[in-house]
Amino acid sequence: MDAPPRARNPQAVLFSCGLNSVRSPMAESLLQQMFPQALYVKSAGVKKGELDPFAVAVMAELGQDISGHKPQTFEELEDWEGLNFDLIITLSPEAHHKALALTHTLAADVEYWPTPDPTDTEGSREQKLQAYRDVCDGLSLRIRRRFSKVGAASG
């Protein structure tokens, strides 16, 4: 069964994870870079974290600067901009539960993309960076697959 048109071609997308410090800012930047005019994209966390330097380094390897990203919570985003998103993509279980709770008062579709947290990686700097690259590559592939029709429709 096909998804309703609203879910298939969202206008505003919110990526969310636990702290808005690694996965969701990466996903936000990747989607913005792929479809700069097609979509409004933001990210938020269940709790507020600090931007992760490994995430900044890995995105810089792709020519994307997320160093100015300020981690924010759902509540802060709601206070500043409202939660006017038609699609919320959650990357962690806690973010998924939070997003589902929001849909009681918000007309948004929620998709769960389980994404590993690279901050748990042990080892050398290179091993840690590789874990972040793997997360970034996975997000990039998933975003390209999910939003390919958006680019075609707007391009």
State the DSSP string of the chain.
-PPPHHHHS-SEEEEEESSSSSHHHHHHHHHHHHSTTT-EEEEEESS-----HHHHHHHHHTT---TT----BHHHHHHHH----SEEEE-SHHHHHHHHHHTTTS--EEEE-----GGG--S-HHHHHHHHHHHHHHHHHHHHHHHHHHHHHH-
Residue 82 has pLDDT above 70, yes or no: no
Domain boundaries 10-149, CATH class:
alpha beta
Residue boundaries of the structural domains of the chain? 10-149
pLDDT surpasses 50 at 67: yes
pLDDT bin (cut points 50, 70, 90) of residue 150 is: low
Does the pLDDT of residue 101 top 70, yes or no?
A: yes
pLDDT of the residue at 3: 42
Picking from 134, 119, 153, 151, the residue whose alpha carbon sits closest to that of residue 33 is 151
Q: Which of 41-55, 82-96, 116-130 has the lowest mean pLDDT?
A: 82-96
pTM for the full model?
0.89
pLDDT attached to residue 155: 42
